[in-house]
Amino acid sequence: MAAPDAFKVSSLKDKVALITGASSGIGAGTTLLFAKLGARLALNGRDVENLSKIARECEECGAVKPLLVPGDLTDEDTVKKTVEETIAHFGKLDVLINSAGILAMGSIETTDMAQYDKVMAVNVRSVYHLTRLCVPHLIKTKGSIVNVSSVNGQRSFPGVLAYCMSKSAIDQFTCCVALELAPKQVRVNSVCPGVIVTEVHKRAGLDEDQYTQFLEKCKLTHALGRPGEVEEVANAIAFLASDAATFITGVNLPVDGGRHAMCPR
């Protein structure tokens, strides 16, 4: 028996998707999944070597050669160039995946203004700017946007103050832009991962022993008793971006093993 027509993740075939943060973690995993689903890809990331590696893996999956638009999205000229080169190359834009982001440790006592500004610039301002420039093109295709937020936007955790604030901003950004663009049939959603096995925590300062202990604690902090895998988040992003989710907008979807629902005692 054939799969129901309602399941249309395969509708990503030949869609043009711009994915940020594509050189590592959730962005890289999403890139590879979209490649397997037949999307045509424009990829942004700061690590050019890793970005090129991911692009080669996409081609090995049978995808059209991705367009690489590397650079730091906190630079306004880079944001403009990213959109301009994507449209010049593909002639349109169907999907925007805002996956670029950083994690930084710190409390109200230890997070100085430089760290606060950096986190907000990467996690919020660059997302706002890139989305703003992409919207006219997404309106033409009645496209979709998926932002990568975090359980930290929905629940409060000490010691990652600026990061939690930035992800709360992305959740509100998602809902507001969804309402603004709904009359033009552009859908806007986010995924809110729990702890996912990537390098982001090590880049934020955890050493190997600390990271091992952190993952072990996930058995208690996540209802499903484990951290998540990149592919599990990528699957949710693909669903929200695809025609399998045509009546879903303004959703901040937890992909966190139940962590958002927990109230430890």
Catalytic residue among 116, 128, 163, 211: 163
Q: Is 261 exposed, middle or buried (0-12, 13-18, 19+ CB in 10 A)?
A: exposed
Vertex 146: Cα angle to 145 and 151 (nearest 5): 150
128 is a catalytic site residue:
no
Q: For residues 10 and 8, give the distance between their C-alpha atoms in angstroms, rounded to a whole number.
A: 5
Residue bearing tokens 């690489």:
68
C-alpha to C-alpha distances, 206 to 21, 150, 200, 209, 236, nearest whole angstrom = 21, 19, 9, 8, 27
Here the tokens at position 191 are 């995924």
| One-letter amino acid of 39 | A
Q: How many residues does the chain have?
A: 265
Question: Which residues are tagged catalytic?
Answer: 163
